Structure 1
Amino acid sequence: MTTVRDATIALMRAHGMTRIFGNPGSTELPMFRDFPADFDYVLGLQESVVIGMADGYAQATRNAALVNLHSSAGTGHALGNLFTAYKNRTPLVVTAGQQARGILPYEPFLYAEGATEFPRPFVKWACEPARAEDVPHAIARAYHVAMTPPCGPTFVSVPVDDWDRPCAPLTPRRVASRAAGDPALIAEIAEALASARNPALVYGAGVARDGAWDAAIALAERHAAAVWIAPFAARNPFPEDHRLFRGFLMPMRDRIREALGGHDVIVTVGGPLSLYHVDGEGPHLPDGARHFLCVDDLGSAACAPAGDAVVADARSFLSALLDGPAPEARTPPPPAPPPPSLDRTSLTDAWLLARIAALRPAGSIIVEEAPSSRGAMHDRLPITLRDGFYTCASGGLGHGMPAAVGIALARPGEKVIAIIGDGSAMYAIQALWSAADRRLPISFVIVNNRRYQALHGFGRLFGLAKPIGTELPGLDFCAIAEGQGVRATRVDNIAGIDAALAASFAADHPTLVDVQVAQGA
């Protein structure tokens, strides 16, 4: 007799979801009866860590990852990183246990009331199947919805007694959903680019998600166009050492106008141009500029404040532009100015990031969650390789450390360098245990300024002389790491930084370097 569990396991195997990320509870245990030998259960010590690991793994494999949570309590713990996965456009199939159907009318212990409503709006689809035999079909639908652009998490609540019920086998299906966009508007954009006097391309994370790295480079070179990175891009869409690269757009209306001033045609691909972080006034674009936007979801296209928009995947869109008319000969834009000289008298975050750039192994992957050091990272740590960078698209904290674990699992043998702020690290520090348990070659580098540095900068915007609740004295990251099985070193001076980083980068197991950087203003 085929059971719900048998049918579901076969379905997951067919879709390549044989690695399950979870933190088990009582209502999930029957799912794993006679756990198959070809499946791998990745344990996280807290549910937000579980989602973060699955997020990194799914991004790196470009396939949905399966997550198993514990009813309402576990889902609640996971919501912060579920929000981040939603903003990252990461395909996840999240399952959560529910109490037995026979006692649900009595509001039993550890049941989930309104299970499908709880994770919304940060899942694309949610379901608690009406019958046990509907569970495999619900998980199949959750997979296809998660993998349909714009990708994102889905959620299925499964009563504990469903797994052993009889069920007919389910034949796996394929669902193709790549959007090519409107040909007439794409042809108009191609013509505008070809006839532009001074075009600019703005690339977002969607270029990386859609595997459009080569097409993005080819389009820029064909049109001799300046290339900018869209505000808060969570992936690297273009090599930052390329002669046409101009930098990162700030999430402020006036700064975007200033950076793009002088360009007559601006084409944004793979992410919004208008992802602002502070309020602003005036036009959204420089005077006289035409703007065209390509994103993979109608919502982002519809809410854009200016310009015409195409709903399409980045690779199809860029390929269509490359098939368009050839431009006239253009003089390439002038090179971007170099960053200011480094302060060589103290261990700043800029110095640390410059040394990471100099010492990192070839082909290493950067995972970042150090918001107050992002400007220094842009200046000092160029990302030059396809799929070489991952960060958090939501602005929430607690994603970077577990995401590094998931990425290392997805890309075995490659060095992962996780650059994490001290404040950020404490949101998901249990990820260190999972890294040690799997003996993953991750270098966790803590940018330790002993406070929530980013809030000091925002405090000045709001006229606060000294923000409250922002100081973090006394955290011993080496002790925390060693207690979870990760070797750790503390550095508090320039003289010691190179040796500590080099030893960490050479290790074939997880290590942590706690770098005590100078505090900013």
Structure 2
Amino acid sequence: MVTVRDASFAVFAHYGVDRLFGNPGSTELPMLKGLPFPYVMGLNEAVVMGMADGYARASGKPALVNLHSSAGTGHSLGNLFTAYRNNTPIVVTAGQQARSILPHDPFLGAERPSEFPRPFVKYSIEPARAEDVPLALARAFAVALTPPMGPVFVSIPVDDWERECALPLLPDLSLATLPDPAGVQRIAGMLADAKNPALIIGTGLANNPDGWDAAIALAEKAGLPVWAAPYAARETFPEDHPQFAGFLAAWRDKINSALAPYDALLVVGAPVFTYHVEGHGPHWPEGAALAALSEDPAHLSNLPGGTAGSFGVLGNPAAGLRQLADLLPARAFTGTSHQLIDPAPEMKAAYVLKRIAALRPENAVIVEEAPTARGPEHDTLPIRRKGGFYTCASGGLGYSLPAAIGVAMAQDDKVIAILGDGSAMYTIQGLFSAFQERANASFCILNNSAYAALTGFSGEFGMNHVPGCDLGGLDFAKLAEGQGVPARSVSRVEELDDALAWSFAQTGPSLLDIRIA
């Protein structure tokens, strides 16, 4: 017999946990006694969750998060929702009050802890007995890692950690599921019979370690033009590759227009499709056959009905693409390549992003949350490497600043966080974690003094004024320096290259407050 704490540490070791992300509270303290790995502290639970998400996605390992009961868990929910949409394997443990006083409505007690984080977790439990905590944790890791991956939640009363229990059995699991061979054959037939087929890739393929290479192999063998699915939250395909066609917008009419030349579409690791506003008409060009390949059943069950020639295949998408590359005959590429632009030298997002692209270190990783700059980013800052791009699939703000810290912890290359001023302010206290962890991250704030994405989007609803969008007066250099991160402000084109070179040369965190029009 061992303590619940020691048995839990054995579970963590079995699943490769090498650090704990958290913001400590009283009901979590017994968990931290004799902690066998580093504790990564965030000044707010949203920061904690964002760092853990970035670390898990970049490392390919599950992340462990420790939160306080209701209030601490509540603070994390925005980025917990993002982790759920990102399909990130995170095991969240939350402190609960002692079992003996739970009937008395204690201070810092959580009345229904397993219900609180739903529906943004795949599994949620407060074990009925202290002895069951390690087994609940073992199951939580298995569920988090089962495709489609995602966060899970375990509430643990403060007095459980010292109780005795038996070590749970910890089997090694192989959780990848190969797609049905008959389904792959059917996709191969659809593509082979088409005169002008295309490949559309989403985050679900990029989350697979072999997804990038498998997509390149299939596209080059079969001559397929490749599109990034709407709001893809990872790199999908080399954006300087001649067969990269561009990015699908999250508008139904724009999707139909972009895909009009094709008579067969293979959508991999993405819904069909993600939309931002209501649309009308077909979901893809009429007359085009469509197949969806994904390990997420929701992508297939949500396949729009009423269109002839559409079908879905469930299974590991990278394995499916490898099989298709073997089955399909060679075909030359005859499509059109995505074209970058060359913006004029002025303090606007497009030019700033062009200079980031030109001056970034070799193999730099981009972590982005600048909604108004996403279009210019696509046109000026090509992602050229596997593991080279991260953003949030949920659309919720406050993710990418802490996520950049987690990504930096997981790998050795420079991380460049491209953030809007509004986005950065949601989790600006994450800069203190960057300082503490010496994260090799350059935080580039595109400061337009507004929630400009919202004012720009207002035209969709016939509005010419949106209240509450003025962010003038924020000084990000001072905010960074107050948390130990060196910073500069940039307001003129003549200063830009020198400031970027300075930031990229740092071996720890730095910040640029880039004042753009």
Pick from 321, 326, 330: which aligns with 1:323?
326
Segment of structure 1 superposing worse, 415-424 or 294-303? 294-303
**Alignment match, 2:313:** 310
Distance 2:169 2:415 in 1: 38
Q: Deviations over 1:145-196 (max 9, x none)?
A: 0000000000000000000001112232222221212221210111221222
Residue correspondence of structure 1 range 363-382 to structure 2 within 5 A: 363-382=363-382
**Alignment match, 1:343:** 344
Distance 2:441 2:328 in 1: 46
Helix, strand or coil: the match of 1:83? helix
Distance 2:73 2:280 in 1: 39
1:431/1:330 CA distance change after superposition, 3 Å: same
Residue correspondence of structure 1 range 397-416 to structure 2 within 5 A: 397-411=397-411, 413-416=412-415
Helix, strand or coil: the match of 1:323? helix
Helix, strand or coil: the match of 2:219? helix
Helix, strand or coil: the match of 1:93? strand
**Alignment match, 1:84:** 82
Distance 1:459 1:253 in 2: 18
**Alignment match, 1:274:** 273
Distance 2:35 2:451 in 1: 43
Contact 2:243 2:333 in 1 (8 A): no
Q: Deviations over 1:109-157 (max 9, x none)?
A: 0000100000000000000000001000000000000000000000000
Helix, strand or coil: the match of 1:283? coil
2:29 aligned with 1:26, yes or no? no
Deviation at 1:337, TM superposition (A): 4.1
2:81 maps to amino acid: F
Contact 1:179 1:316 in 2 (8 A): no
Q: Deviations over 1:466-497 (max 9, x none)?
A: 11110101101111100000000000011000
**Alignment match, 1:334:** 336
1:184 maps to amino acid: A
Distance 1:302 1:98 in 2: 37
Contact 2:222 2:325 in 1 (8 A): no
Alpha carbon RMSD of aligned pairs, Å? 1.1
Distance 2:464 2:192 in 1: 51
1:437 maps to amino acid: Q
2:383 aligned with 1:383, yes or no? yes
Distance 1:517 1:86 in 2: 33
**Alignment match, 1:257:** 256
Pick from 67, 70, 73: which aligns with 2:68?
70
Distance 1:477 1:333 in 2: 44
Deviation at 1:331, TM superposition (A): 4.9
Helix, strand or coil: the match of 1:368? strand
Deviation at 1:310, TM superposition (A): 1.0
1:175 maps to amino acid: L
**Alignment match, 1:96:** 94
2:466 maps to amino acid: P
Distance 2:18 2:153 in 1: 18
Deviation at 1:249, TM superposition (A): 0.0
**Alignment match, 1:129:** 127
Q: Deviations over 1:239-295 (max 9, x none)?
A: 000000010000011100100112011001111131000111111111210010112
**Alignment match, 2:213:** 214
Distance 1:338 1:429 in 2: 32
**Alignment match, 2:39:** 41
1:88 maps to amino acid: N
Distance 1:487 1:336 in 2: 37
2:516 aligned with 1:514, yes or no? no
Distance 1:169 1:473 in 2: 56
Distance 1:11 1:89 in 2: 22
Q: Deviations over 1:38-68 (max 9, x none)?
A: x111001100000000000000111110000
**Alignment match, 2:299:** 300
Distance 2:206 2:301 in 1: 22
Contact 1:228 1:247 in 2 (8 A): yes
Contact 1:124 1:152 in 2 (8 A): yes
1:242 maps to amino acid: H
Distance 1:239 1:509 in 2: 28
State the percentage of identical aligned residues: 54
Residue correspondence of structure 1 range 445-464 to structure 2 within 5 A: 445-464=444-463
Helix, strand or coil: the match of 1:142? helix
Structure 2: give runs of 5+ residues left out of the alignment.
none
Q: Deviations over 1:361-408 (max 9, x none)?
A: 001100000011000000000000011000000000000010001011
2:228 aligned with 1:225, yes or no? no
Contact 2:272 2:302 in 1 (8 A): no
Distance 2:454 2:78 in 1: 19
Q: Deviations over 1:78-113 (max 9, x none)?
A: 000000000000000000000000000011000001
1:126 maps to amino acid: S
**Alignment match, 1:198:** 196
Residue correspondence of structure 1 range 136-175 to structure 2 within 5 A: 136-175=134-173
TM score, norm. by length of structure 1:
0.97
2:207 maps to amino acid: R
Distance 1:34 1:175 in 2: 28
**Alignment match, 1:471:** 470
2:171 maps to amino acid: R
Segment of structure 1 superposing worse, 166-175 or 438-447? 166-175
Distance 2:423 2:284 in 1: 34
1:335 maps to amino acid: S
Contact 2:225 2:333 in 1 (8 A): no
Distance 1:222 1:77 in 2: 48
Deviation at 1:338, TM superposition (A): 4.2
Helix, strand or coil: the match of 2:2? coil
1:264/1:484 CA distance change after superposition, 3 Å: same
